[in-house]
Structure 1
Amino acid sequence: MFRISKEFHFSASHQLAHLPPDHQCARLHGHNYIVVVELAAEELNADGFVRDYHELAPLKHYIDTHFDHRHLNDVLDGPSTAENMARHFHDWCKARWPETVAVRVSETPKTWAEYRP
């Protein structure tokens, strides 16, 4: 199996208001997010790629247009957790690139959430 991944960055605010008031995530705050999309294929295409990295540019445009410097509570359906974002980005990517197998989202250098159906 061949695997590739590409990393994307954005900054945004969010608030998990459904949590208890003394929980730090219940307060309005922000993160410098990292999104990593992973694609896999058993065979390479005629160019020797799983998929050309350049073909992933629409994800950068989508993130820059809809997520970067936004309030995620206004962008996402459901809680704006890293887990929900990983699933959201996975589904968006899978609809465009069938080789998509997973998406990871980081809020901090030490935390990652992954969606891999």
Structure 2
Amino acid sequence: MFRITKEFHFSASHRLDHLPEDHQCHRLHGHNYIVVVELSGETLNQDGFVRDYHDLKALKTYIDDHFDHRHLNDILGHSFTTAENLARHFYDWCRERFPETSAVRVSETPKTWAEYRP
């Protein structure tokens, strides 16, 4: 199995309104997010790639246009704007466009990661 990954960055705010008011994530706050998309294949295409990294520019454009310096609760339309739900959101978006997508990881801080892998 061949695997490739590409990393993307954005900054955004959010609130986890469903948590108790004394929970730090209930308050409005922000993160410098890192999104890593993983694509896998048992074979390579005619150019020797799982997929050309250049194709993934569409994900960068999507993130820049819809997520960077935005409020995630407004974008995703719910209060569960957790890293786990972001990983699933980006996985679904990528999988529609890049069938080789096998996982997406999202980091909110240098020490925390969430991953969606079906």
Same-fold status (TM-score > 0.5): yes
Deviations 1:76-116 (A, max 9, x none): 14311000000000000000000000000000000000000
Count of aligned residue pairs for this structure pair: 117
Q: Which residue in the other structure is 1:94 paired with?
A: 95
Query: 1:69 Cα shift?
Result: 0.1
Aligned counterparts, 1:12-31, within 5 A = 12-31=12-31
Structure 1 unaligned blocks of 5 or more: none
Runs of 4+ in structure 1 over 6 Å off = none
Query: 1:20 Cα shift?
Result: 0.3
Q: Which residue in the other structure is 1:81 paired with?
A: 82
Residues 1:116 and 1:77: Cα distance change in structure 2 (over 3 Å):
farther
Q: Which amino acid in structure 1 is aligned with residue 64 of structure 2?
A: D
Structure 2 unaligned blocks of 5 or more: none
What is the TM-score with the length of structure 1 in the denominator? 0.99
Deviations 1:33-89 (A, max 9, x none): 000000000000010000000000000000000000000000014311000000000
Q: Which amino acid in structure 2 is aligned with residue 63 of structure 1?
A: I
**Is 2:114 aligned against 1:113?**
yes
What is the TM-score with the length of structure 2 in the denominator? 0.98
- Matched position secondary structure for 1:88: helix
Query: 1:11 Cα shift?
Result: 0.1
Query: 1:17 Cα shift?
Result: 1.1
Tell me the C-alpha RMSD between the 2 structures.
0.5
